[in-house]
Structure 1
Amino acid sequence: MPRPIRRQALVTKPIVTDVAVIGAGLIGAGAALALRRAGFQVVLVDRDVAGAKASGVNFGGVRRQGRGLAQLPLAQRAHRIWPRLRELIGTDGEYVRSGHLKVARTTADLDALRAYKERTAAFDLGLEIIEGREFRRRFPAFGPDIIGGSFCPEDGQANPRLVAPAYGHAAARAGARLLQGGRVLGASALGERFLIDIEGGTQVVADYVVNAAGSWGGEVAAWFGDRVPLVVKFPTMAVTEPLPPLVSVSIGVEGGGFYGRQVARGNVVMGGGFGDALPDDRSRPGRPAMDALARNAPQVLPALARAHIIRFWSGREGYFADKNPAVGFSPHAPRLLHAFGFSGAGFQISPAVGEMLAEMIRGLPCPEYTNAFAVDRFATAPPATGDTA
């Protein structure tokens, strides 16, 4: 059953709309924009400002390489959207198809990359395995421990601090009502509709609700009886001072531990490991993660050994063990549509997910959807928690 509303003194009459979207990050704002383009009335609600949470503070990798097979149809659809950002949201978000290189430290790593290339052959990612002298010729900046890698030439990178808020503002320009700075306190059924209570006294009545609440998505889902094993983690990232050109591609490491990219200004954005929770839903970089990043970065790119790090930061993200998000209609509350838990890899596929959510509400076929995303795949799962393990 939906969570009872925590009643407050009303400041205004309820806002009546077709769709209420909880969360104005990339997923929620993308859905709001697509719904407005389809003629729906939309209210977009965020506890902070549009794009301020995980959508706006993530690493900025726009990659298909490394995703599970279930996500690749969405990733391919998003790949066609990214070059159109300027016409969709008014900025290109510094998006470039720089290429994505997933590097290997051992022959076993290279074998794993070759196996991934074979498994994903039907998706035509253009993967190229490079090793030995050819790898050194093309990528001389890497350390001696890196023996090769898998290169996806059309993957790339963008600036999340530009892209994420731009989606929210584009939805507002298209006619969505953007309510910022108020937490959703609860929701309840109102006949066949939903009544949503927002901090400060605002209420929204909607035919449909989209739960795009990010790391809080599990809590919202639990209000309606949808219990999912979402784990909240806090990715730790850093950026260096501007450096001479080192590498033009976005970098990942087979087996994890480090990811990085150098932007046009010369700064190297990088990450690895997780931080810690703070009161009031905030987070900070973790000391162990910062220490590990300081060790790992020069092993991948030796020039980073003497680089000054000018800022560390952390975001807040929801993770599922299978790395797939929870996307789809609630099995307990008709017209409630979930989309959260993108496990640190939602940035690239977000534009396609937003469009797909709008199509699901419209009752259109969604060929990119798979049961691997279904909310009820966690039928026996415990309630969502805020554990950082």
Structure 2
Amino acid sequence: MKRIATEVLIIGGGIVGASAALALARAGRRVTVLERDLCGSRSSGINYGGVRRQGRAAVQLPLAQRAHEIWSGLRELIGIDGEYVRSGHFKLARSAADMQALEAYAEMSRPYGLDIALIGGAALREQCPWLGGAAVGGSLCPEDGQANPRLVSPAFARASGRAGAQVIERCEVKQAGFDGRAFVADAEHGGEALQVRAEVLINCAGAWAGKLAGFFGEDAPMTSGHPSMAVTEPIPQFLPWSLGVEGGSIYCRQVARGNVVLGGGRGYVIDDSRARASHDSILSLLPQAVALLPALRHVQIIRTWSGVEGYLPDRQPVLGPSLTQPGLLHGFGFCGAGFQIGPAAGEALAELVLHGRSAVALDAFSMSRFAPAASLAPGAPSLPVPERKIS
């Protein structure tokens, strides 16, 4: 059995875990990341690629604003721009009630600096000649945007490795616990047993984070979601903004090569780690897309996909200390909307390790909302990481 001793062990190499690893490694901490597949290949890599603040619950907006600043310096941080552009995010209304909801959101979010502009009537047709008749208005957040998750998420992990983190891919954790002195994770890597001991453990295991929390007596009511997505052949540029729809059902964006990425509906599970877009969801998605964007009427779909995302009942993540085990931190349950806030969530976790507190308030994301009678174990959290060696 191979053994590794480290200061901080992060289980999960998606955008949140890799961002935490990068921040900690840059601060001089010894960090090890264990990823069951390839870093950024799960929900962090299969998502739609929207980098939006608009539409988030008010409790997420401070975190989203911090992430907005991080995204502005993406190339300097991770070495690539990841096709990130501030194209704008336009949320469509298909009824007067939808438009009222968008107006209320614009007013609520005003203190957070989203600078949302409402567009309707003649102005809508003038600014959006590509829209079909299904839309009656919308709200534009001009500095929101889009990026390629298949490039960005793995790049965070590579950047953490360059900063000094030890990143081990295709390494599945079988068991984890605390032996009274250190966290101990037993894993399998390349057919061989691996044991990692650490002073702090960060649970960023995505849809599988509930199982890891369960090793420490915490019940996270996680369910899995499987987004159904598709991409078209390249067509002439016509869509200036990333699009969403009030009330959900469809979202789309056009990339620089001309392909249109579409999402909506749910796929189906193949096994505990794989999913596919369903035939029915794609057939339901296409007429909605054409009703909003007539330019797609005769366009060919060239690929569909899905993946496994972790969802919590209130559609908010868990981000912060364990209730039962000092030194354990959680960062999971981003409910299909973690791509934009992922870098800020990772940095917040790193701040908890380094300073015992985060610059962004995380109370709304506490595990305690699922266990209101529970309280932190005596002395928790035992942060920041002490300067000592693990035997």
Q: Structures share a fold, TM > 0.5?
A: yes
Mapping of 1:246-261 within 5 angstroms? 246-261=238-253
Does the aligned pair in 2 maintain the 1:327–1:374 contact within 8 Å? yes
Which stretch has the larger CA shift, 365-374 or 74-83? 365-374
Tell me the equivalent position of 1:27.
Answer: 16
Mapping of 1:1-389 within 5 angstroms? 10=1, 12=2, 14-199=3-188, 200-279=192-271, 281-379=273-371
SS in 2 for 1:98: coil
Does the aligned pair in 2 maintain the 1:83–1:92 contact within 8 Å? no
Tell me the equivalent position of 2:385.
Answer: none
1:364 positional shift: 4.4
Does the aligned pair in 1 maintain the 2:231–2:304 contact within 8 Å? yes
Does the aligned pair in 2 maintain the 1:103–1:149 contact within 8 Å? yes
Q: How far apart, in 1, do the equivalents of 2:336 and 2:274 lie? A: 17
Does the aligned pair in 2 maintain the 1:327–1:339 contact within 8 Å? yes
Q: How far apart, in 2, do the equivalents of 1:89 and 1:367 lie? A: 22
Q: How far apart, in 1, do the equivalents of 2:293 and 2:370 lie? A: 40
Does the aligned pair in 1 maintain the 2:351–2:359 contact within 8 Å? no
SS in 2 for 1:201: strand
Unaligned runs of 5+ in 1: 1-9, 382-389
Provide Cα deviations, 1:5-63, integer angstroms capped at 9, x if missing partner: xxxxx2x2x20000000000100000000000111100000001111111011100000
User: Percent same amino acid at aligned positions?
Assistant: 51
The TM-score, its normalising length taken from structure 1, stands at 0.93
Does the aligned pair in 2 maintain the 1:141–1:247 contact within 8 Å? yes
1:279 positional shift: 2.2
Unaligned runs of 5+ in 2: 374-391
Does the aligned pair in 1 maintain the 2:228–2:282 contact within 8 Å? yes
The Cα RMSD (Å) is 1.2
Q: How far apart, in 2, do the equivalents of 1:288 and 1:367 lie? A: 44
Does the aligned pair in 2 maintain the 1:238–1:270 contact within 8 Å? yes
Number of corresponding residues: 370
Tell me which amino acid in the other structure corresponds to 2:233.
E
Provide Cα deviations, 1:214-258, integer angstroms capped at 9, x if missing partner: 010111111111101111011011000001112110000001100
Tell me which amino acid in the other structure corresponds to 1:203.
Q
The TM-score, its normalising length taken from structure 2, stands at 0.93
Provide Cα deviations, 1:319-352, integer angstroms capped at 9, x if missing partner: 1121110111111111010000001100000111
Does the aligned pair in 1 maintain the 2:319–2:362 contact within 8 Å? no
Q: How far apart, in 2, do the equivalents of 1:364 and 1:193 lie? A: 18
Does the aligned pair in 2 maintain the 1:98–1:248 contact within 8 Å? yes
Q: How far apart, in 1, do the equivalents of 2:187 and 2:285 lie? A: 40
